[in-house]
Amino acid sequence: MSHTIESIEFESSIEQENAEPNYLTASKGLKSWMFTLDHKRIGLMYLISIFTFFFVAGIFALLVRTELWRPTKLLMEAKTYNQFFTLHGAIMVFLVIVPGIPASLGNFALPLQLGAKDVAFPRLNLTSYYIYVIGAFFALFAIINGAIDTGWTFYAPYSLNTGGSVILMVTAVFILGFSSIFTGLNFIVTVHKLRAPGMTWFRMPLFVWGMYATSIIQVMATPVLAITLALLAIERGLGIGIFDPILGGDPVLFQHFFWFYSHPAVYIMILPGMAIISELITTFSQKKIFGYRLIAFSSIAIAVISFLVWGHHMFVSGQSELAGMVFSALTFLVAVPSGIKIFNWISTMHKGSISLKTPMLWALSFLFLFSIGGLTGVFLAVLSIDVHLHDTYFVVAHFHYVMVGGTMMAFVGGIYYWWPKMTGKMYSEKWGAIAAILVFLGFNLTFFVQFLMGSHGMPRRYYNYLEQFRTMHQFSTVGSYLLGFGFFLVLLNLLHSVARGERAPANPWHALTLDFTQTSSPVIEHNFHHQPTVHTGPYEYGE
């Protein structure tokens, strides 16, 4: 087969123009959204909810950083400060990052990439969204009714005896867990059963592999969190001794139960981000991904090993030294597949045809920031070094580098990438680039100094601090405002495109996956006019 060198035309059998309604216009009215079974509408509703909570939790973060401008009290009392950092963490983890990419972009794009009409269980999908909404209401109610000040980690016995709406909040998290489980279950079955004819496992896009690995974790780990929080609520409400030593319980047991979920949870957060990066790098280099199988297998390997390392959060908790040793060794093991992915992505760019459109800028940001996040994880895996760094700002910096510098960068890159499919509009590339650069700069200013603060001994969750840390804190606070502003620009950029953006072509990025080659912008209600069939791998740019 020969191709002209000057241009690659991708014929879409759908030239939509004004003729056909798309998934946004096919049915109208509030009820058509409230009772929709369309994965695209559900994904969009999730996206709006998730980003609303992102900004709410972001405001809590700005309040925390503002208070930390001075070593002593600036705006608020200690208890309020403690509530604000707790709510920042709890909202970000349970309402933003864990549902995050899977519930929004996963729902939207997974069926499209598979050539399917929808997910396997559309009603379960809508149910999972409503469970999310109910969980969110419980959380809001808890916040208004006394809030919590336990940290998002709810360690016992503090969480058993402190004031506030602990039981309400853990109930909210319990409910939200089911939203996560149902999404994961849905995706697993969809990937097994609804692939287009000819799409073997190794012809699936890597985004799908990443979502599949994530779904395994969601289904297997989340129930443990649910039970743990139920036990916490029961003990707090009924005084049954499980974790409180006064009642004969063991506080360290809570930590084991909690981290058994919460460590795999962070891979629920990063695997979808990595999945998006695979798509972005390959599309914006117009080159077959380097080491497809290794990237696919590394996602599964990470999912499995993630269940075996939870004790690295507990090296100084009182768990046995032997346990510490085993957890440290396994933690080093889990770092290797992530490193391989980074090298594979960079190799994909080698001799590619690289376009620096906005989604790619976010992907490059990811590569830079996630590398730092991952490497600082190595420090924390070393037993003797972790003793020094545990519970300091070093850990705070590490997890923000991977969760924001990793997951959020990929998330926003993915939103820009699929924006034409979701809205039929193109956003301004100029403002997209400006926002990306401001976020990158603001992020580094906020968090890089925190590594140094941490290694110099600045503890986490401190309302007041010693004078010697003042300058570093001030850098960080200024950075946080820049970061917030950058994200706000992203929001404006995207909203503006809906109102005034140019109409998007079917395949603006010349991607080769079905979500771009076989759909219109925006996508039609049933995704495809005819069932697509697949004869090759997803990234065959050469052929």
Partner 1 sequence: MDNIKKLMEMVLPVDWMFSLLPVGASTQSIDVDPLFHFVYWFSIVVFMFVIIPMTWFCFRYRRRSEGQRALTQKDHNQLLEVTWSVGPLIFMAIFFVWGFYGFLNLYLPPLESKELKVIGQKWMWTVQYPDEEISVSGQGVVIGVPLGKPIRLLMSSQDVIHSFFVPNFRVKQDVVPGKYSTLWFESNKIGEFPVFCTEFCGDQHSAMLAKIKVMSPDDYKKWVTEQKEKDQGLPPVKLGEKLYHNKGCNACHSVDGSRVIGPTFKGLWGKSEQLTDGKSVTVDAERIHQKLMEPTKDVTAGYVPVMPSFKGQLSEIEISGIVEFIKSLK
Site for partner 1 in 156-195 (CB under 8 A): 157-158, 161-162
In the complex, the smallest distance separating the C-beta of residue 394 from partner 1, rounded to whole angstroms, is 10
Q: Is 425 helix (H, G, I), strand (E, B) or coil?
A: strand
Nearest Cα residue to 431 out of 498, 363, 486: 486
DSSP summary character for residue 246 = G
Nearer to partner 1, 68 or 196 (CB): 68
Residue 332 binds partner 1 (CB under 8 A): yes
In the complex, the smallest distance separating the C-beta of residue 271 from partner 1, rounded to whole angstroms, is 19
Cβ contacts of 462 within 8 Å, gap of 6 or more: none
Phi, psi of 425 (to 5 degrees): -120, 155
Instruction: Single out the segment in contact with partner 1 by CB under 8 A; choices: 47-55, 170-178, 221-229, 323-331.
Output: 323-331
Using CB under 8 A, which of 70, 117, 256, 461 touches partner 1? 461
Phi, psi of 459 (to 5 degrees): -75, 160
The neighbour count for residue 466, using CB atoms within 10 Å, is 12
In the complex, the smallest distance separating the C-beta of residue 506 from partner 1, rounded to whole angstroms, is 16
Residue 315 binds partner 1 (CB under 8 A): yes
Residue 339 binds partner 1 (CB under 8 A): yes
Among positions 258-287, residues that touch partner 1 (CB under 8 A) are 285-287
Nearer to partner 1, 94 or 469 (CB): 469
* 358 neighbors 431 (Cβ within 8 angstroms): no
The neighbour count for residue 504, using CB atoms within 10 Å, is 20
Among positions 65-104, residues that touch partner 1 (CB under 8 A) are 78-79, 82
> For residue 133, what are its two tokens?
């909404």
Nearest Cα residue to 35 out of 143, 130, 118, 105: 130
Site map 411..450 versus partner 1, x via CB under 8 A: ----------------------------------------
Nearer to partner 1, 423 or 477 (CB): 477
Using CB under 8 A, which of 33, 69, 141, 155 touches partner 1? 155
Residue 252 binds partner 1 (CB under 8 A): yes
Using CB under 8 A, which of 21, 457, 505, 508 touches partner 1? 457
Q: Is 426 helix (H, G, I), strand (E, B) or coil?
A: strand
Check the CA dihedral 440-490-187-424 and report its sign: negative
Instruction: Single out the segment in contact with partner 1 by CB under 8 A; choices: 117-125, 221-229, 270-278, 290-298.
Output: 290-298
Residue 59 binds partner 1 (CB under 8 A): no
Using CB under 8 A, which of 256, 456, 496, 529 touches partner 1? 456
Nearest Cα residue to 120 out of 197, 39, 42: 39
In the complex, the smallest distance separating the C-beta of residue 456 from partner 1, rounded to whole angstroms, is 5
Residue 365 binds partner 1 (CB under 8 A): no
Using CA atoms, how far apart are residues 46 and 129, in angstroms rounded to an integer? 7
Using CA atoms, how far apart are residues 125 and 123, in angstroms rounded to an integer? 5
Among positions 501-540, residues that touch partner 1 (CB under 8 A) are 510, 540
Cβ contacts of 334 within 8 Å, gap of 6 or more: 302, 305, 306, 309
* 73 neighbors 122 (Cβ within 8 angstroms): no
Using CA atoms, how far apart are residues 523 and 207, in angstroms rounded to an integer? 19
Nearer to partner 1, 40 or 390 (CB): 390
In the complex, the smallest distance separating the C-beta of residue 26 from partner 1, rounded to whole angstroms, is 33
Which helix (H) or strand (E) segment is 502 a member of?
Answer: strand 502-503
Q: Is 503 helix (H, G, I), strand (E, B) or coil?
A: strand
Using CB under 8 A, which of 34, 74, 230, 336 touches partner 1? 336
Nearer to partner 1, 40 or 288 (CB): 288
Reading phi first (left if > 0) and then psi (alpha if -120 to 50, else beta), residue 503 is in: beta
Among positions 203-242, residues that touch partner 1 (CB under 8 A) are none
Q: Which single residue is written with the structure tokens 């850990």?
A: 395
In the complex, the smallest distance separating the C-beta of residue 400 from partner 1, rounded to whole angstroms, is 17
Using CB under 8 A, which of 70, 388, 496, 529 touches partner 1? 388
Using CB under 8 A, which of 25, 471, 531, 533 touches partner 1? 471
The neighbour count for residue 180, using CB atoms within 10 Å, is 29
Using CA atoms, how far apart are residues 336 and 309, in angstroms rounded to an integer? 14
In the complex, the smallest distance separating the C-beta of residue 190 from partner 1, rounded to whole angstroms, is 27
Using CB under 8 A, which of 261, 447, 465, 487 touches partner 1? 465
Nearer to partner 1, 260 or 297 (CB): 297
From residue 103, alpha-carbon distances to 54, 79, 513 in Å are 14, 34, 20
Residue 251 binds partner 1 (CB under 8 A): yes
Contacts with partner 1: how many residues (CB under 8 A)? Answer: 97
